[in-house]
Structure 1
Amino acid sequence: MTATVPLGPEAATSRHALRRLVRPLSIRGTRQLPAAGAASTRPLRTRWALVPGDALAALVVSAVTLSTGPTLLTATTDAWLLLAAVTVTWLALLGATGAFEARRTTSATGDLRRIARAGVGLAAATPVIVTTSGQPLEPWRVLVAAASVSALAVGLRRAGTALRPPDPVRVVVSGPRPAVDLLLRELATDRRPAFEVVGIHEPATGRELPTTAQRLGAEAVIVLPTERDDPAALRRLGWQLERAGTQVLIATGLLDVASHRTRLEYAGALPLLRVRHPDATGVRRRAKAVADRVAAAVALVVLAPLLLAISVAVRVESKGPAFFRQTRVGRDGVPFTMLKFRTMGLDAECRREELTAREAVEGVLFKMRCDPRVTRVGAVLRRYSLDELPQLVNVLRGQMSLVGPRPPLPSEVERYAPDVHRRLAVKPGLTGLWQVSGRSDLSWEESVRLDLRYVDNWSLGSDLRIVWRTVGAVLGHRGAY
């Protein structure tokens, strides 16, 4: 038996549960579904509009980097022909690598790879074009031209996506209900959804899926395999969907695995997805440790006047030390003393038990939005995350990193579930995914998942992106209390 739940005005009995799950996806329940056979008729308009910009960029870059004689106003016919040949070659290479295809579900990394391949092709083709034209050219000009035009192509696509985000792909999700619910929850976390779910298919045989996708006007089908599926059945499904022009996406069952850790391999004709282990002790980790200490040392010197002023302000408002020292758990469960500016009164720890009994505590964390123990100066420091600055000393000592999971208390670690101990595989951080994603506004489960995702998918590039996003998180004060 096959159950199909369309997400239109005629939605069936599960409408309330589905609406609760997929509301963040901007599913428009009143939208008129296209007629049967219209799944692939929506124009792919977002990419071809970039052709004039790519052509102009190639023409200007070629004129600046490849010209060795007259300017454009006094250029000879041969010079103009050279520039035109380079421009046409660049457009042809972009088309050959698929840079003009409107892949609404493709990540920015895919765009970078395609443009990079086109740039390498341009660097190889330009000397041939120049030699044919009979004009001398230094090799460095070719490399500069290829790199510059590739960078402009990337910028054009980023700007185009920001100004006019591509429409989400209309999909039907097929699979057992628990797996479907998990997929819907994951889709709901996307800030710019790549998919618009128009129907849910719970198959017993899968034979009606192509008809369902066509009737609902789906452009693609997401298949969540069951134990009853076999390669032959999936292949037949692909043949059936091919007739209607509907794409097939097959879930792997993996969660929170970054693309740079995966690679497609084959056992005969059977595709296998290799998942690489995180780089826990390699050269990049050692480079990160050195960079952490150097950056912390420089920051402490530059911020010394600010640190002194904050110390004075803390001590003037309330008696006691300017710094708060607390035992936290670092990498591999090794405890260390973490430094912060004191933001509470001296009786804060004594009052914690009273407040814990009064407040509802989620998971193992205790956090109050309006904590009566926080001083006026402390509230300002917390709002702008200035109370965290002394942790630069911990980074300099090698106990912490600039980017990493939140440093936990020993009492929290004692209550960890087995999987949560994975957070301790790396050094805790001054900032991290938890901070740029909401900090104290996150639930315990969300915080843990972000930390585990960081540990498993770490890269130097991800650290740089988190540092950049931290600036916006601090200025926006989100979750800072």
Structure 2
Amino acid sequence: MGEVTTSLQRPVTNTGRSKLVRHVDSFEIQPPAPPSHNGVPRSAWARARRRVSRWHRPYITLLLLLDFAAAAVASLIAIETFDQSRAGFYNAEQDPTWFHTVAFGLLPLGWLVSLWANRAYDRRYLGLGPDEYKRVIRAGVAVAATVSFLAFATKTDLSRYTVGTALLAALLLILLNRMLCRFVLHVVRRNISQAGHRMVLIGTLPECLEVYTAVTRNPAAGLMPVAIHVTDGYAAAKGIETPVPVYAGRDVLALVREVGGDTIAVCGSASSEPGELRRLAWQLEGSGVDLVVAPQLTDIAGPRVHIRPIEGLPLLHVEEPTLSGPALLAKNLMDRVAAGFGLLLLAPVFLFIAIAIRISDPGPVFFRQPRVGHEGRTFRVWKFRTMYVNAEDRLASLVDRNETDGMLFKMKEDPRVFPVGRFLRASSLDELPQLINVLKGEMSLVGPRPLPADDGDFLGDVRRRLLVRPGMTGLWQVSGRSDLSWDEAVRLDLYYVDNWSLAYDLSILWRTVGVVLARKGAY
């Protein structure tokens, strides 16, 4: 934990003479700084070089090379798949040089131009979130439209199958490249804390600490706070231990340079001062320092937030959660179809697991327990039995050894679990029978985990989990499972309820595969 830092360096003016600094309450107040420029651009093509965070330069260079190679390989795949006489231009065999120039040079170059025009190389969209992939898809549509227009305008005889194969293969290969590069970038950020943005947080101390907790919760995001500049004075931070140094009464841009930052995050009420945020943005022009604003909107996903300016005032409109409508019907249909096919395909696995359970401990194969479902309705969840038949009778003697702080009883070394059951829990195979609940409409593939019904009515924020169907997997499971605290698990479940979408469900299902294979937090 860092100490509250208040010592300032003596300012030096352009004339070489140092001015006196007055000490008040153990921190220094600098004399008024000369007015900064008003943000008039120096040159239309001027681009400030970033002072510290330069990870994006080699990263973007790598993306450029890989994207060009992907487009060229896609052309090769299309040529090898179809007859070369049909692969591209009419009479290509008579002019192979021009044909190969277009296939392996101009078309890949056109992909790079389209990706650049759609800002797929903008560092703000690299490494996190779906925006990077959306921009790649837009670029693919633009390339397809451009090729079609040029072929029509020049009356070029093209093979539709070959060109379609080349464009689709290029899009898929570029998306695959982006996924692999993002995976490597996340590994670097998690393990060596590099390739990120060094942030200086500005605001009151509670607001800054809240933003610090949020941005450091996911190291893969690459946001690394290095300092806090409090707007409510040093007294507000006095005697409080903080994870990074705290400063007060400083020139913000000078502080950013001193701590080696490249991003300023204005937190909460610090952004409400009329004109202050605009003047700060002017001051940062040409400095290579990014400015971000962290409003007091927590756990609300981007698609629900829209900026609608009214007479120069940017209003943030927060849309209601999508808890009904066509998207929900599509989700229910996907659940039923996937559950039906899953039960058919996994029938041999179910039989093998049932035999293993009966050999390990005589008794029923399945365990059915009352759980609270959608809108408070109670149902019985299906699971493979992983504990001895007298497990419920032995629970009272183990309550004092509960390793969680929530409504579920969890022990890493629960003596009531027999050996085969321990394997089933670690691999999450014991959850597969819940496909029956999904098929019946009592559960969904993705959603908050159903909690026991014998704990009484849910109170407060926890009750909001009941607005959607409980799921076989969810944001809680892919974010740590049993290793998370109860409050963190509830926060993740409520985030899912407020921000779910079909794309988000597919993302969670994809992440579930990795979590299950890694056996993270399963016991």
Q: Which amino acid aligns with 2:504?
A: S
Hey, what's the Cα distance between the residues in 1 that align with 2:451 and 2:304?
A: 27
Q: Is the 8 A contact 1:58 1:86 kept in 2?
A: yes
- RMSD between aligned residues: 3.1
Q: 1:321 aligns with which of 359, 364, 387?
A: 364
How much does 1:364 deviate? 2.4
Q: Is the 8 A contact 2:408 2:451 kept in 1?
A: no
TM-score by length of 1: 0.82
How much does 1:144 deviate? 4.8
Using a 3 Å threshold, how does the CA distance of structure 1 residues 208 and 360 change in structure 2: closer, same or farther?
same
How much does 1:174 deviate? 1.0
Q: 1:244 aligns with which of 280, 284, 287?
A: 287
Relative to structure 2, which stretch is displaced further, 327-336 or 303-312? 303-312
TM-score by length of 2: 0.76
How much does 1:344 deviate? 2.3
Using a 3 Å threshold, how does the CA distance of structure 1 residues 389 and 112 change in structure 2: closer, same or farther?
closer
The Cα offsets for residues 24-83 of structure 1, whole Å up to 9 and x where unpaired, read as xxxxxxxxxxxxx973684723213433443344445457476144568x6345535644
Q: Is the 8 A contact 2:402 2:410 kept in 1?
A: no
How much does 1:180 deviate? 1.4
Partner of 1:395 in structure 2? 438
The Cα offsets for residues 158-178 of structure 1, whole Å up to 9 and x where unpaired, read as 333334558111221111111
Partner of 1:458 in structure 2? 500
How much does 1:246 deviate? 1.5
Partner of 2:212 in structure 1? 184
Q: Which amino acid aligns with 1:452?
A: L
Identity between Structure 1 and Structure 2 (%): 39
1:289 aligns with 2:317: no
Q: 3-state DSSP class of the match of 1:389?
A: helix
Q: How many residues align?
A: 447
Hey, what's the Cα distance between the residues in 1 that align with 2:271 and 2:171?
A: 46
Relative to structure 2, which stretch is displaced further, 420-429 or 210-219? 210-219
How much does 1:251 deviate? 0.6
Hey, what's the Cα distance between the residues in 1 that align with 2:482 and 2:286?
A: 50
Partner of 1:229 in structure 2? 272
Q: Which amino acid aligns with 2:99?
A: A
Partner of 2:64 in structure 1? 51
**Runs of 5+ unmatched residues, structure 2:** 7-48, 80-86, 189-193, 234-248
Once the two structures are superposed, the pairs formed by residues 95-174 of structure 1 within 5 Å of their partners are 95-103=116-124, 107-131=128-152, 134-137=155-158, 144-163=165-184, 167-174=195-202
How much does 1:347 deviate? 2.7
Partner of 2:453 in structure 1? 410
Q: 1:39 aligns with which of 39, 51, 75?
A: 51
Partner of 1:441 in structure 2? 483
Hey, what's the Cα distance between the residues in 1 that align with 2:108 and 2:65?
A: 11
The Cα offsets for residues 119-143 of structure 1, whole Å up to 9 and x where unpaired, read as 2332232234335655223666655
Hey, what's the Cα distance between the residues in 2 that align with 1:87 and 1:338?
A: 53
Partner of 2:375 in structure 1? 332
Partner of 1:258 in structure 2? 301
Q: Is the 8 A contact 1:5 1:201 kept in 2?
A: no
Q: Is the 8 A contact 1:439 1:478 kept in 2?
A: yes
Relative to structure 2, which stretch is displaced further, 189-198 or 321-330? 189-198
Q: 3-state DSSP class of the match of 1:390?
A: helix
Partner of 1:14 in structure 2? none
**Runs of 5+ unmatched residues, structure 1:** 7-36
Q: Which amino acid aligns with 1:75?
A: D
Using a 3 Å threshold, how does the CA distance of structure 1 residues 470 and 110 change in structure 2: closer, same or farther?
closer
